[in-house]
Chain A
């Protein structure tokens, strides 16, 4: 692009402009993720100033990895929340996926990829189950997924104990397909002395995919419409039920993906894990600008929310603070982010009028 090209002057717009151009600032301020961007920059500067190790490149790689561990599932959760629904079972679903793949392969002595795909089918079925119940019964998704959260948690513990006799799965590191599956789900490579984990790349990919779906496809419009006003969306012919079930299955897919990472990064899975993480995914989405009422939000925002989470978890340790305070900071950050989002949104709306 270095050779100078004689460009034609852009065609002058017709003088009778169809609509007034919005100033750039207003356009920016109406984006859902702008508040979280500001918060992320502030937190980054804060920890960089405070914790000397935080400023190093290896630390950034650890922060990114910690962020991706929340961010991958948060992408699915953000889409679901934009669609006006809620999933409390995402935390334990991750472990369900990992346990399924591990036990199917180990107990039947199959190639691990078989376990991986059986697990995907099981997880999509779980997502379908959640979505189907929500759209067919009309019971709020908060309650439906609260039920599946407890059921999956119990299944994780009960089935694992029944099948393996212990509370964790056996090590699958010596089985066929482990090396290739690890390469896909849990490898890491060095770039210029910095370790990049593959989950970070997957995370970026999923965020880009979700953003493209939301902003550039008919499905994206449907998701916003369904979350904004389901009745109106149905009236104009949007397949509301299918979209909602699809969104629940999307969350399940993300949980499956992250569950595979847990399995292949750590070889064994403890059945009691995952409880409580669903709130971290929701926090990431909400800090990133998703509204609890649906119809508003962005996948990029959820990624920034997850990045804030990663910076905070690791930054507190890099700074050498007492980790007992971590949850307090997390909660305070959530409140601040939500208030900031609301303030920015109202400011932008008032500017336009």
Chain B
């Protein structure tokens, strides 16, 4: 009785396996090229350092995934034990910096998006003699809080550059889509766009809920047919804006800040005009690599000023090369 049941179960399992094999599809994870590890970098000098990276990441964002990929590749290349942590709210992030100090890390890489709140904690680390590097945000304030170097872009400069590109394209009216209300860096980008292209209006959407982003942008396009260009502040939102444009039957063109695989492909297909890339992979990589250089060799980069990783434009002229990198989670 029981053997018969077992046999039957085995037969069902085998049938399922065959069925699954027969249903194999084009594409998918099985066809992806292995990304491989980080750039080849000999681990010079054997000592292992511990470096803490504390960011204001909102979990689950492709942008931050690239920062982490860069940081992890640099850590692998230099035999660094990387401790990554993130707190989206300033008090949380400040506590996590304190946590890094308690752990007696050898170096600290920190994002200073909420500079007044997290800065003092970073300064406390610097006062303890821990080398601190700021990245991604805090370009104007990092020195005040004892950070030795800064790797990142300037939101306002990037916004102005994007605004100029839109003006060159003959924009009449631009909406700047802000996916998180109350976020200083995002506001700075839109203010930058408005500075070089005054007829810009901010549109606030609920970034954690893409369907609502789609309907909000769609409603705005229907309500105001004079909109010629949409600039999104993150790749997922640009892709959603493309859907909204289709929904509303609008002719508006879409551009974006930051990049991911799908956005790169959309630029290749000519559906997105351009992306303003601040090269997050480089930010993460350099934050860790520069700390390692400082710890092992006493170096500092930037000549006493910030090292800018952007704005770097990705458009039809250079996207061919970049798509491949984006697929490896590096652009």
A and B: interacting chains: yes
List residues of A whose CB falls within 8 A of some B CB. Answer: 53, 56, 58-59, 61-62, 65-66, 69, 156-157, 160, 166-168, 171, 262, 265-268, 270-274, 277, 313-314, 317-318, 320, 322-324, 327
Q: A166 contacts which chain B residues (CB < 8 A)?
A: 184, 187
Q: Could you list 20 further interchain pairs (A-B, Cβ under 8 angstroms) beyond the known A53-B103, A267-B116, A317-B100?
A: A58-B102, A59-B102, A62-B98, A157-B181, A157-B182, A166-B187, A167-B181, A167-B184, A266-B90, A266-B116, A266-B117, A272-B180, A272-B183, A273-B89, A273-B182, A317-B99, A318-B99, A318-B103, A320-B81, A324-B60
Rounded to whole Å, the gap between the CB of A252 and the closest CB of chain B is 20
B319 within 8 A of A: no
- In the complex, the answer to whether A317 meets B180 with C-beta atoms within 8 Å is no
Q: List 25 A-B contacts (CB under 8 A).
A: A53-B103, A62-B102, A65-B95, A65-B98, A157-B182, A160-B182, A166-B184, A167-B182, A270-B117, A270-B184, A271-B181, A272-B182, A272-B183, A273-B90, A274-B89, A277-B89, A314-B99, A317-B83, A317-B85, A317-B99, A318-B102, A320-B81, A323-B84, A324-B59, A324-B60
Q: Whose C-beta in chain A lies nearest to the C-beta of B117?
A: A266
Q: A53 contacts which chain B residues (CB < 8 A)?
A: 102-104
Q: A277 contacts which chain B residues (CB < 8 A)?
A: 89
Tell me, in angstroms, the Cα distance from A318 to B182 when the chains sit together: 30
Tell me, in angstroms, the Cα distance from A272 to B81 when the chains sit together: 33
Contact with A along B95-110 (1 / 0, CB 8 A): 1101111111000000
Tell me, in angstroms, the Cα distance from A56 to B91 when the chains sit together: 22
- In the complex, the answer to whether B101 meets A58 with C-beta atoms within 8 Å is yes
- In the complex, the answer to whether B181 meets A59 with C-beta atoms within 8 Å is no
Tell me, in angstroms, the Cα distance from A59 to B59 when the chains sit together: 24
Rounded to whole Å, the gap between the CB of A85 and the closest CB of chain B is 26
B290 within 8 A of A: no
- In the complex, the answer to whether A320 meets B83 with C-beta atoms within 8 Å is yes
B86 within 8 A of A: yes
**Restricting to B153-187, which residues have a CB under 8 Å from any CB of A?**
180-184, 187
Most buried by A among B84, B92, B99, B117: B99
B79 within 8 A of A: no
Within the complex, which residue of B59, B89, B96, B183 is in contact with A317, where a contact is CB–CB below 8 Å?
B96
Q: Whose C-beta in chain A lies nearest to the C-beta of B181?
A: A157
Within the complex, which residue of B83, B95, B183 is in contact with A314, where a contact is CB–CB below 8 Å?
B95
- In the complex, the answer to whether A167 meets B183 with C-beta atoms within 8 Å is yes
Rounded to whole Å, the gap between the CB of B51 and the closest CB of chain A is 11
- In the complex, the answer to whether A62 meets B99 with C-beta atoms within 8 Å is yes
Rounded to whole Å, the gap between the CB of A314 and the closest CB of chain B is 5
Q: A270 contacts which chain B residues (CB < 8 A)?
A: 90, 114, 117, 182, 184
Q: Whose C-beta in chain A lies nearest to the C-beta of B50?
A: A320
Q: B227 contacts which chain A residues (CB < 8 A)?
A: none
Rounded to whole Å, the gap between the CB of B56 and the closest CB of chain A is 10
Tell me, in angstroms, the Cα distance from A317 to B90 when the chains sit together: 16
Q: B91 contacts which chain A residues (CB < 8 A)?
A: 69, 262, 265-266
Q: Whose C-beta in chain B lies nearest to the C-beta of A275?
A: B89
B94 within 8 A of A: yes
Tell me, in angstroms, the Cα distance from A65 to B98 when the chains sit together: 10
Rounded to whole Å, the gap between the CB of B94 and the closest CB of chain A is 7
- In the complex, the answer to whether B86 meets A323 with C-beta atoms within 8 Å is yes
Q: B84 contacts which chain A residues (CB < 8 A)?
A: 322-323
Q: Whose C-beta in chain A lies nearest to the C-beta of B182?
A: A272
Q: A267 contacts which chain B residues (CB < 8 A)?
A: 116-117
Q: A160 contacts which chain B residues (CB < 8 A)?
A: 182
- In the complex, the answer to whether B102 meets A56 with C-beta atoms within 8 Å is yes
Tell me, in angstroms, the Cα distance from A160 to B181 when the chains sit together: 11
- In the complex, the answer to whether B95 meets A62 with C-beta atoms within 8 Å is yes
Tell me, in angstroms, the Cα distance from A61 to B103 when the chains sit together: 12
What 10 A-B pairs have minimum CB-CB distances, sorted nearest first? A272-B182, A266-B117, A53-B103, A58-B102, A167-B182, A317-B85, A59-B102, A271-B182, A268-B116, A320-B83
Q: B92 contacts which chain A residues (CB < 8 A)?
A: 313
Q: B184 contacts which chain A residues (CB < 8 A)?
A: 166-168, 270
Tell me, in angstroms, the Cα distance from A66 to B182 when the chains sit together: 24
Q: Whose C-beta in chain A lies nearest to the C-beta of B178?
A: A167
Tell me, in angstroms, the Cα distance from A311 to B181 when the chains sit together: 30
Tell me, in angstroms, the Cα distance from A327 to B117 when the chains sit together: 24
Tell me, in angstroms, the Cα distance from A268 to B94 when the chains sit together: 13
Q: Whose C-beta in chain B lies nearest to the C-beta of A153?
A: B181
Tell me, in angstroms, the Cα distance from A334 to B187 when the chains sit together: 37
Q: A268 contacts which chain B residues (CB < 8 A)?
A: 116-117
Q: B183 contacts which chain A residues (CB < 8 A)?
A: 167, 272
Tell me, in angstroms, the Cα distance from A267 to B103 when the chains sit together: 26
Q: Whose C-beta in chain B lies nearest to the C-beta of A261?
A: B91
Q: B99 contacts which chain A residues (CB < 8 A)?
A: 59, 62, 314, 317-318
Tell me, in angstroms, the Cα distance from A157 to B117 when the chains sit together: 18
**Restricting to B94-140, which residues have a CB under 8 Å from any CB of A?**
94-96, 98-104, 114, 116-117
Q: A271 contacts which chain B residues (CB < 8 A)?
A: 181-182
Q: A62 contacts which chain B residues (CB < 8 A)?
A: 95, 98-99, 102
Q: A167 contacts which chain B residues (CB < 8 A)?
A: 181-184, 187
Q: A273 contacts which chain B residues (CB < 8 A)?
A: 89-90, 182
Q: Whose C-beta in chain B lies nearest to the C-beta of A268?
A: B116
Q: A320 contacts which chain B residues (CB < 8 A)?
A: 81, 83
Rounded to whole Å, the gap between the CB of B191 and the closest CB of chain A is 9
Q: A168 contacts which chain B residues (CB < 8 A)?
A: 182, 184
**Restricting to B33-86, which residues have a CB under 8 Å from any CB of A?**
59-60, 81, 83-86
Q: A69 contacts which chain B residues (CB < 8 A)?
A: 91, 95
Most buried by A among B60, B86, B102, B183: B102
